Structures are given as C-alpha cells and as structure tokens.
Structure 1
Amino acid sequence: MKTAIDIFSGAGGLSIGAEMAGIQIHTAIENNKHAAETFKHNHPSTKVICNDITKVKSKELPKNPFILFGGPPCQGFSISNTKTRNTDNKNNSLFFEFIRLVDETKPKWFVFENVEGFTSFNNGKVLKELESKFNSLGYKVEHKVLTASDYGVPQNRNRFFMVGNNQGITYDFPEKAQKRVTVKQAISDLPKLTNGDNIDKLPYKKGRCSNYAKLMRTNSKESSQNHLSRNREYVIERYKHISIGENWKAIPPELMENYSNTSNCHSGIYRRLHPEKPSVVIANYRKNMLIHPYQNRGLSIREAARIQSFPDDFIFKGSLSHIQQQIGNAVPPLLAKAIFDKIIKVDNEYKK
C-alpha cells in the first residue's frame, strides 16, 4: 500500500485526490481545529494531528512514506522572511517546516503546492532556493503552474505545484483533459434553494445529469449540506441587476452608496457565474458575493464544493463561515488526483 503524509492539510482536498488515485493517507497535520475535524470525519482511519506544525516531531510520523504533500501558507514567502530565515518568525518557519519534514521522514515522493504567484516571490529567488534545498536532500524536482479547469474541475483556478522524488525519476505533469466542465454541468442537478436556506438533506433534481454530476454523486443518494448565507434584502436587490457573467459594475450606483469608493472594488465582487463556462475562483465565495447563475442568491456549501470537485459524500464540519473558508482554501481534489495518478504511473514504470 502506498502511504502518505498530508501536512497543512486543511479540509483535505489533496488527500481526497490522493485517495482517488489509490494512496492511503497515514497521517495528516492541520492546526485549524475546524478543518482538522472535517479531515477526521472524512478520513476516519487517518491519524490527524491538530497542532502547530513546528511542534510536530518526526517520530510521530511514518518513516519513508511513499509520498508527503501539502501547501504551506503563502505568507511565509515574503522577501524579508526569506532573506532573514528567522525561525522566530512564524510565517517564515512554515516554509522551512515542509523542507524539515521531507528531510526527516524521507518520502519517496513529495508534492509542494502553493499560490500561482509563488514563482515570482522575490523575483524567483524563493523558488530557486526551494529547488536548491530539495536537490541538496537528494530530490529531483519539476514544477509548473496548473489550471484546475484543464483537469476536469469546473473552475479556472491556477495553482503552483512542485513534484520531487529521490529515485532520479523525471516527472512530467499530466496531460490536459479534452473538454472543460461548465458550471451548469457541475451544479444543475442540485436542488433549488432560496436566500438563507439551511437544509441538510434534499433530493437531487429529477432528469438527466452530466457525467461530472454522476461522478460527484457516486456514493450519495441525495444532496447534503444545502446551506447558504442569508443576504440582506438590499444585497438581493443588487443581485437582480447582474446578468450572467457580469459583476458589481452592473449594479446601479444608487444601490452601492454604502461603498465609500467603488473604484476599489475587485472585479470578482458580485460576480454571477456563467453557466456555460468553468467558474471563476471559489476563494471565500461568501465574502466575494458570488452569485448563482440563475437564482438571485449566493452559493450553497454543496454547490461550492461541487465547483471545487469535492464528492457529494464529503461532509464539512464547523460553522457556515468556517466551512466556506475551508472550501475556498482547498486544492480541488480532481486536480490533485491528476497529479497523483501521474506520479503512480511514472513510479510503476520506473520499477519495470
């Protein structure tokens, strides 16, 4: 059995993708108690360590696992932190914790995940330093920015990945999928909801559904966690003015008077999702006020999870706001699966 350690695990997007590829998650490390609770619920056989990673010792982890993966919070890659390497600086230390645990557990493979902009931190010096560190530990590395919608995820989300191994194997990133999955294909079979609904179980809509929806529904007979934030009436009124694909600029100025300066509004605010395209990034979709393609409301937990490619039997724990953040922070499982599938393929070929 191919075993894994997931560090900075969050709710477990990378781990779901790894499990889809046939990897067993031995241990996960996550400091946020709500995300750790979500992880434990969905991976009952996994050892979940809810603690500051700087306090986790390698003796608590399996030695020589098949793979170690995770995405350190990106605050640790500021110019000053990288220059000083001050381990008293918590954000900076998280960067080196990944390196430390690779060094101490010596996995055959690792996957380091981060924001798209990772490649340009400190004019690329951080990336070069990371490569150098792993090379010195005996790892051959490859890196690339991937777009989730190229790998079956109904979302245009770019993430940086570095893949390394200590066998001298050259890793080529997976080929792109032939067709992209749209928002309509992703969520049109989910139940109709109204502003503020908080309904745990509802039947799927009757009729045909997309292959993507069938995949998400594999282990589920109904839609769960149909919960969404209750927006105030003036917010719903704003939604009514926004057509498919439009954002806050479509809202009449008199309805935006509580904004002191609308020129500071981000283009992603008040965006109505386009049903015939992959979604914009599902970050914290409540704060961004992302709008359902056809209904004048925000997205439910299950709709956002679908757009991130979490299967319908995946259950999130914590308050609604904590769950919304967990979903937004996650690596899309189907994107992760594509990476892990390719790792297993090249690893098996190397053994022959």
Structure 2
Amino acid sequence: MLGIDLFSGAGGLTLGAKQAGIEVVKAIEFDRESCNTYCHNNPDVDLINEDIRNVKDLAVTTNGPLILFGGPPCQGFSTSNQRNRSVKNQNNWMFKEYVRFVHSLKPQWILMENVKGFYETAGGAFFAKTLKLLEKEGYKLNYKILNASDYGVPQSRSRVFIVGSLNKGIDFKFPEKSTAKPVSVIEALDDLPVLDNGAAKCILPYKKEAESKFAKQLRLEKETSSNNLVTRNSALVIERYSHIPQGGNWENVPEGLMGNYKNRSRCHTGIYRRLIADEPSVVIGNFRKNMLIHPFEDRGLSVREAARLQSFPDNYEFKGSIGFQQQQVGNAVPPMLAKAVFQAILHS
C-alpha cells in the first residue's frame, strides 16, 4: 500500500505508517523547520514545502491501494487554547483541505488524526462536518478516541482517529489495547545522559545500557544519542523546580517565589509539572511553555527525552534551533500509536 501524508509535521504519522509496512511516497508540510527534519529522516519521500491551500494536484501513479492520512492543524482545538476554539478561527477549517484531496485522489483508505478537542469544539460541529463530508465522498467510517499509553507509548495522550474505507464491505476495527502494563517515564528515560539546565551539546554517549524493553527498542544499538538539548532557565525557575515533588506542579512552589505571576490562582495545572517516574508521562505538548520537569533532576526535559516519551526512535533526529525542535516533538503523533492503527488497516 502506498501512502500520502498531509500536514506531515516532523513525520510522526509517516514513521508509524512505514513501521507498519506502508510505502509513503508524498507529503505536504508548510513549516520549513519541520520540513528539514522530515527530509533528513525520510529522504525517500517527495515532500512539498508549501501551504496546502496552494497545492492543486497530487498525482500518484499506482495500480495498488492508496491511503491518504494526516492531522490538520490542531492548535485551535486544544483545550489549552480556549481563545481560538470557535468556528471563527479560520485555521479550524483546514480539515476541508484534507477532504479536498480525498475528493481528487479517491484513495482506498483514509485516516485523519487530531486532538480530542476536535471531537468537542463548538459542540462537535467541526467533527460532525468532517464526518458528513467524508461520507459524502463514499467512505464507510469508524472513529475512536485512543490513548497512546494503551499502545506502548510512555505517555497519556488522547487523540481522535477517523478511519474510512471505500470498500463498504470492510468492517474496520481499531486495534485492541495492549494488555501489558503501561510503559513508565523511568523505563523510557533511564539510560539517557545526565544533563544540566541549559545543556547544549547535541550528541552524547548514553549513561548506561538500556534495561527496559522500550528503551532497547528505541535505542537501536546506537552508542550515542542526539538532540540532548535543554532550555536554559533562570536561577529563580530552577529554585521553583526544587520545591516540586513528582506529580506536583506550581501549587507546590512557595508563594514568595511566584511574585511575577499577577494572579497565581490562574496558572493551569500543567505549569511546572514534575513527571512521575513510575507512570506514563502527561501530554508532551508545548513542553517548554508548560515547563515539564524531569522526574529526578531540577531542569526541563531535553528534546531527546521528550522524543522518547513520544516513542520516536533515537535515530530520528530533529533539526533547527532548540525551540523549533521542541515544537516539532510536541506537535507530533506518537509513531507507536500510529503504527498500531496502520497495522489494523492493513489487516482489514
């Protein structure tokens, strides 16, 4: 099966598709830095760096089945972005560009992924409109909210998936949850280098041999890891970190250290969250903005640590400045979750 990735970002969905056995041949992404990462890791894919609204044709020559997949921009549907969660935000209508290519290509399979808020925003209006448009194109649809931690990803991250087939006789079923214990933060990160606040050396040797099955799977017998970059926080922020236990957040910081917040009570629970070592991580979204804290060290997460928690293998290198790398990792679909869904499609 051949695949096309719309709104590809750094390539989480593409990687999951490849791991499942799909040959990804084309992709579209507007962000230049994400394109640099995508091309570095997927040199075999024809990537179009362009606003999707300006791309008029995606001709693919194939006699075999085609799957069109993608995750339209989700910032406007995020629960942490209430200001833009409305029908007035034009970026919330980008799913129509996905439908446009469904109409022109008529792939045998379609897959759309988005944040849980896509299912909820505006009373479900965007989600209902999407289903209506895809059904109009002739697809038999199934949808479900999946949590990445149920599919081997060391992160509690809920996403809604819509899968459709042109073959009305196929009864697609989403993959069953893993019966294994969820992978924890410590299982994912324990072999990675010890880092300081503001660590800026990209490539470093591992701290020790990988012990968990998950770490061994992502390490791929490499001797060094890349993207070991950490945001440099001020001494005041580091002092705040020191007061926060695992599972705690800004509420554990003494009031005297939070003087620059005009209304301390308005901080959301994700601010200054220290990860719990023996549980899956909280959502790796904008982990620099939220200031997610390493479970044992008084610093933010490195790009590689966040990538591990997203289930990217260590040979997947992120490009650009640290800020761009952090954004790419946070926006990505966990490859292991994507792989599970693509495998279910291939086995249908």
- TM (norm. structure 1) is 0.92
User: What is the one-letter code of the residue matched to 1:15?
Assistant: T
The residue that corresponds to 1:350 in the other structure is none
The residue that corresponds to 1:33 in the other structure is 32
Does residue 171 of the first structure (1) align with residue 172 of the second (2)? yes
Residues matched between the structures, number: 338
Superposed structure 1 runs of 4+ greater than 4 Å apart = 59-65, 75-79
Residue 220 of structure 1 deviates from its aligned partner by: 2.6
Q: Distance in 2 between matches of 1:286 and 1:292?
A: 12
- CA RMSD, 1 decimal: 1.7
Give unpaired runs (5+ residues) of structure 1.
82-88, 347-352
Q: Deviations over 1:216-241 (max 9, x none)?
A: 01263321111111111111111111
Residue 245 of structure 1 deviates from its aligned partner by: 1.0
Cα 1:140–1:61 shift into 2, 3 Å: same
Q: Deviations over 1:115-172 (max 9, x none)?
A: 1022223322332222221112111000011101000000001111100010121111
Residue 76 of structure 1 deviates from its aligned partner by: 6.8
Q: Distance in 1 between matches of 2:74 and 2:302?
A: 27
The residue that corresponds to 1:84 in the other structure is none
SS state of the match for residue 227, structure 1? coil
The residue that corresponds to 1:86 in the other structure is none
The residue that corresponds to 2:124 in the other structure is 124
The residue that corresponds to 1:80 in the other structure is 87
The residue that corresponds to 2:144 in the other structure is 144
Give unpaired runs (5+ residues) of structure 2.
78-84
Contact 1:62 1:105 (C-alpha < 8 Å) held by counterparts: no
Does residue 134 of the first structure (1) align with residue 134 of the second (2)? yes
Q: Distance in 1 between matches of 2:262 and 2:76?
A: 32
User: What is the one-letter code of the residue matched to 1:99?
Assistant: V
The residue that corresponds to 1:103 in the other structure is 103
The residue that corresponds to 2:299 in the other structure is 297
Contact 2:238 2:299 (C-alpha < 8 Å) held by counterparts: yes
User: What is the one-letter code of the residue matched to 2:117?
Assistant: G
Cα 1:208–1:28 shift into 2, 3 Å: closer
Contact 1:190 1:205 (C-alpha < 8 Å) held by counterparts: yes
Q: Distance in 2 between matches of 1:75 and 1:285?
A: 14
Q: Deviations over 1:183-210 (max 9, x none)?
A: 0000011010111111222221224510
The residue that corresponds to 2:82 in the other structure is none
Residue 336 of structure 1 deviates from its aligned partner by: 0.3
Q: Deviations over 1:281-334 (max 9, x none)?
A: 001111111110111111111100000000000011111101101111111000
Contact 2:190 2:210 (C-alpha < 8 Å) held by counterparts: no
Contact 2:74 2:92 (C-alpha < 8 Å) held by counterparts: no
SS state of the match for residue 69, structure 1? strand
Contact 1:58 1:105 (C-alpha < 8 Å) held by counterparts: no
The residue that corresponds to 1:14 in the other structure is 13
User: What is the one-letter code of the residue matched to 1:129?
Assistant: K
Cα 1:195–1:92 shift into 2, 3 Å: closer
- TM (norm. structure 2) is 0.93
User: What is the one-letter code of the residue matched to 1:152?
Assistant: G
The residue that corresponds to 2:54 in the other structure is 55
Q: Distance in 2 between matches of 1:79 and 1:285?
A: 24
Q: Which residue of the other structure, out of 233, 236, 239, is the alignment partner of 2:235?
A: 233
SS state of the match for residue 316, structure 1? coil
Cα 1:76–1:276 shift into 2, 3 Å: closer
Q: Distance in 1 between matches of 2:183 and 2:58?
A: 43
Q: Deviations over 1:30-83 (max 9, x none)?
A: 0000001110110001001000101112245556752111111136776535xx
